[in-house]
Amino acid sequence: MSWEIYLGPYFECVRKPVEVTVTRRVCSSPKCANHTPDYAMYVAFCSRCGSAVIAKDEPGTRFNPLSERVSEQLREMYVVHAVAFMVPNVRRDGDCRRSWDADDEERVSLDIGALDVPAERNWLDSAFAAERAILVAECVSVETKWGFHRWWS
C-alpha cells in the first residue's frame, strides 16, 4: 500500500443506500452472550452454551460502487461512508502532472496560482457529461469540485 495524492477537479457523489437482507449466523439461544456475534459458516454449535447456530436474516443497507457504472476514464478515488470521490483517469494536452504516488523519490512542486479552477471544473463537466448523467441518476447528489486529496491505495 502507498499514499496517493491528487490535485484537480473531481465529482463528489453522495450515494443512495440500497436495502438488502443480511444473513448472520448466531446462537439460537437468546439468553446466551454469543447470541449476537457472527459465526463462521462451518460452526454448527455455540462455543459458550452448546446451542445450535442458526442463520438469521436482518435488514441492512449497502452502497453500490459507482466505478462499475462509468467508463474507466473516471475512477472512484476513495469512499468515505456514503460519499464517493470520482477523479478523471486521463491526461489532457498540456496538463501538468496532477496525481502522484507519495512514495516516489521525487519532490512534488506545482504552481497552483497559474491554474484556472473554474475552467477545470467546466472541463470535467463537459468531458464527462455522459458519466455525470449516470452519477446523477445513481446518487442523491453530485457536485463538481476542485481540490487536493490524499488516500491509501
Same domain, 148 and 95: yes
- Residue 82 sits in the same domain as residue 100: yes
Q: Which domain holds residue 101?
A: 3-17+64-152
Count of the separate structural domains present in the chain: 2
Residue 129 vs residues 69, 75, 113: alpha-carbon distances, Å: 14, 14, 27
Average pLDDT of span 21-28 = 84
DSSP classification of residue 135: H
| Same domain for 50 and 110 | no
Question: Nearest to residue 121, comparing CAs of 88, 150, 89?
Answer: 88
> Which residues face 118 on adjacent strands?
none
* Pair (44, 85) in one structural domain: no
List the one residue out of 108, 104, 98, 78 whose CA is nearest residue 146. Answer: 98
Instruction: Please indicate, yes or no, whether residues 70 and 144 belong to a single structural domain of this protein.
Output: yes
Same domain assignment for residues 71 and 123: yes
Residue 28 shares a structural domain with residue 7: no
- Count Cβ atoms within 10 A of the Cβ of residue 7 and give its class: 0-12 exposed, 13-18 middle, 19 or more buried: buried
| Phi then psi dihedrals of residue 53, to 5 deg | -90, 130
Identify residue 29 by its one-letter amino acid code: S
The reply to whether 133 and 98 lie within a common domain is: yes
Q: Are residues 69 and 103 located together in one domain of the fold?
A: yes
- Contact 62/17 with Cβ under 8 angstroms? yes
Residues 130 and 68 in one domain: yes
Quick check: 118 pLDDT over 70?
A: yes
Helix axes 117-127, 129-138, angle to 10 degrees: 80
Residue 109 grid cell: 512542486
Question: Looking at the structure, do residues 138 and 77 belong to the same domain, yes or no?
Answer: yes
pLDDT band at 81 (very low <50, low <70, confident <90, very high): confident
Confidence of residue 100 (pLDDT cuts 50, 70, 90): low
69 with 111, same domain: the answer is yes
Q: Which of 33-47, 53-67, 119-133 bottoms out in mean pLDDT, i.e. has the lowest?
A: 33-47
The CA distance from 70 to 67, in Å, is 6
Question: Over the chain, what is the mean pLDDT?
Answer: 81
Q: What is the mean pLDDT of residues 88-112?
A: 64
pTM above 0.85, yes or no: no
Residue among 151, 131, 21 nearest 80 (CA): 151
